[in-house]
Amino acid sequence: MQTAIAGCVGSDTLGSYFNAQLKQAGVQVLVDPDNTSHTGTVMVLTTPDAQRSFLSFFDSGKLYMTQSIANAKWEHGVSAM
């Protein structure tokens, strides 16, 4: 099965790590790292009764579909996002 991801990571250490792990797993990364922002992170906290809380950090103003993601979606025939 071919798998791809069209998402944003920064050009920082965490973004490089994520890209390397995805490529190692055979996932095609469709969008180049963003040199203007840091990679966002989310920590999931789970209680013993399976309730979840999410702590997230994203660069301010970066929570939108960038043109590079929109282009990757159509250029690579992505049918669901």
**pLDDT 10s digits, 29-44:** 887 788 888 888 889 9
Question: How do the domains of the chain map onto residue ranges?
Answer: 3-75
Q: Is 68 exposed, middle or buried (0-12, 13-18, 19+ CB in 10 A)?
A: middle
Q: How many CB atoms lie within 10 A of CB 12?
A: 15
The answer for residues whose C-beta is within 8 angstroms of residue 45's C-beta and 6 or more apart is 52, 53, 54, 55
Count CA within 13 A, CB hemisphere, residue 16: 4
- Region 3-75: CATH code: 3.40.1190.30
pTM: 0.63
Q: In this predicted model, what pLDDT tens digit does every residue of 61-80 receive, in sequence order?
A: 555 556 666 676 555 565 55
